[in-house]
Amino acid sequence: MKMTKSPTTGIAGCSALVTGGGSGIGLGTATLLAADGAHVMICGRTEDKLISGVDQIKATAADGVEVAYVVADVTVEEQITAAAVAAAAPTGQLDICFANAGGAMTIPASIIDSDLDSVRATFDVNMVGTFLTIKAAAALMVTTGGGSIIGMSSGAGHFPHRHLWAYGASKAGVEMMVKYAAEELADRGVRVNAVQPGIIDDELMEFITAGGKLLDDYMDQTPISRLGQVGDVASAVRFLAGPESSWITGECLAVDGGHQLRRGANYELLFQ
């Protein structure tokens, strides 16, 4: 099994699936995996982003690496299953899966002011989408000796961010799902972990990182007081994906400049 070899072997020759791979953290991680020698399949719902993403990944990919995309919605089981099978095609097995796709479909609001449909949509993409991705990836991995799955959580899934409850609760569900999957799949060679990013300077967070009271609050509550970069998270995922972390499973790794040492951000400030 590739994931349990000596740490010196790296991930060259492995096959990886990255959901939500057309932009942001997903694209940054896929680019790093390919640069380190892994064949990479990115998936998402917007084909134009995926086409552009493949071009970006190829620009720095190691020699001989295959990079491709498939349009898939992680909340549709048939689509994410097909994406996992396609990702395994270059080598006949799937070694790495980054279940990155997710988001907040709700406007930050208190529980009593939240819209039901938006809450359901948030739980659907974060929890159900992650479940289906883990299911599809693990089903392949257990037949070929194992692999590494990394889920996408958030600091908001670990400690409260005022008025970000639906997103945070759904990410807390992802973290517990990761722990259950890690315990169930360990004896079949599959490791399952997650990352918990803080505030990241990418296009998804631009409405915060452009400046204002909410950004100031984030910086006040972050001991290493700078914005996180996509590369900060990508490097953490790369570590959890490879044999360097072969005795780590069921962990949720904070990549947040120490934000969890203080309090969560106050999303009421977004509207002030």
Compute the distance between CA of residue 87 and CA of residue 97 in angstroms, rounded to an integer. Answer: 9
Residue 15, classed as helix, strand or coil, is strand
Q: What angle do CA 204, 22, 169 make, to 5 degrees?
A: 50
User: What confidence category does residue 4 fall into, taking pLDDT thresholds of 50, 70 and 90?
Assistant: very low
Instruction: Determine the average pLDDT of the residues in 173-192.
Output: 98
Assigned domain for 188 exists: yes
Percentage of residues in the chain having pLDDT higher than 90: 96
- Distances in Å between the Cα of 177 and the Cα atoms of 131, 154, 172, 183 are 8, 14, 9, 10
Q: What is the pLDDT of residues 73-104, one digit of tens each?
A: 999 999 999 999 999 999 999 999 999 999 99
Assigned domain for 160 exists: yes
Find out whether 41 and 16 touch, Cβ atoms under 8 Å: yes
Assigned domain for 64 exists: yes
Half-sphere exposure of 79 (CA within 13 A, CB side): 14
Half-sphere exposure of 146 (CA within 13 A, CB side): 21
Q: What is the pLDDT of residues 24-74, one digit of tens each?
A: 999 999 999 999 999 999 999 999 999 999 999 999 999 999 999 999 999
Assigned domain for 3 exists: no
User: What confidence category does residue 5 fall into, taking pLDDT thresholds of 50, 70 and 90?
Assistant: very low
Which residue range is the domain that position 98 belongs to? 11-271
Assigned domain for 239 exists: yes
The closest of 255, 238, 250, 95 to 178, measured between CA atoms, is 250
Assigned domain for 136 exists: yes
Look at residue 135 and tell me whether its pLDDT is greater than 80: yes
Domains contained in the chain, number? 1
pLDDT at 18: 99
- Kindly list the catalytic residues: 167
Radius of gyration of the chain (CA): 18
* Residues with Cβ within 8 Å of residue 259, at least 6 apart in sequence: 155, 198, 199, 218, 221, 222, 223
pLDDT at 2: 42
In this prediction the pTM is 0.96
pLDDT at 62: 98
- CATH value at residue 93: 3.40.50.720
pLDDT at 7: 45
Look at residue 138 and tell me whether its pLDDT is greater than 70: yes
Assigned domain for 5 exists: no
User: What confidence category does residue 159 fall into, taking pLDDT thresholds of 50, 70 and 90?
Assistant: very high
Find out whether 119 and 223 touch, Cβ atoms under 8 Å: no
Assigned domain for 1 exists: no
Look at residue 3 and tell me whether its pLDDT is greater than 50: no
User: What confidence category does residue 1 fall into, taking pLDDT thresholds of 50, 70 and 90?
Assistant: very low
